[in-house]
Amino acid sequence: MCLSIPSKVVEISDDNLMCVVDTFGVKREANLMMVADDEVKVGDYVLIHIGFVMSKIDEEEALASIDTYREILEALDEEERQKAILDDDNCENRSIE
């Protein structure tokens, strides 16, 4: 099972196809093709699955989730923390039904 960590959009490409998100200080690209045009703006929080933004989420909900994840991540060492964040892109269940 994959759990998506809320990520903050920090940059959107000129063609609105890609964005850069920040997940606990780790920046990575995500594809915007699964959401409606102009649905996601810089500063929004999103959920990502296998490199695609699947949905935008409410900031209050995102921050509450981030606080919970932060507690979990604090119990990990730095290498485990980076792996946990980056593994979100490598979820084994890649089928979309």
Q: Do 17 and 30 form a contact (C-beta atoms < 8 A)? A: no
Which CATH architecture best describes the domain 7-89?
Roll (2.30)
21-77 per-position pLDDT tens digit: 999 888 999 999 999 988 999 999 999 988 999 999 999 999 999 999 888 878 877
In 1-97, at which residue ranges do the beta strands (DSSP E only) sit?
A: 7-12, 18-23, 26-31, 45-49, 52-57
Please state the pTM of the whole predicted model.
0.76
Residue type, 11: E
Which residue in 6, 84, 8, 17 sits closest to 47, CA to CA? 6
CB neighbours of residue 37 within 10 Å: 8
